Amino acid sequence: MSSNIRRRDLLERLGIEQLSALEAAYDPVDWFLDGSQADHPFRTVMTVPGRKCPACLAKGDTVWVILGKCCPQCGTPVN
């Protein structure tokens, strides 16, 4: 018995109905016609302060690094 069939049987026994891909598709704009996007968790934007790595930038590459971390490309510490 394949894992998909076992999974479907388990979901049926638990009374969980799995939505098809077409049913699960939605347009988030429809949810927020009044412009209230902040109370939806997927609409929250959290920025992380970062800088371009100076060593990679000198070579012509643009690599963003979180402040206080090392560049993943060249290992240069970025403060």
State the pLDDT at residue 47: 76
State the pLDDT at residue 7: 84
Alpha-carbon dihedral 75, 76, 77, 78, rounded to 10 degrees? -120
Per-residue pLDDT tens digits of the chain, which is 79 residues long: 687 888 888 888 888 876 665 544 555 555 555 555 555 556 556 677 889 999 999 999 999 999 899 999 999 999 8
Q: What kind and span of H or E run contains 50?
A: strand 50-52
**How is residue 11 annotated by DSSP?**
H
Of the candidates 44, 43, 63, the residue with the CA atom closest to the CA atom of residue 53 = 63
State the pLDDT at residue 75: 93
State the pLDDT at residue 24: 47
Predicted structure pTM score: 0.42
Measure the CA–CA gap between 66 and 56, rounded to whole angstroms: 14
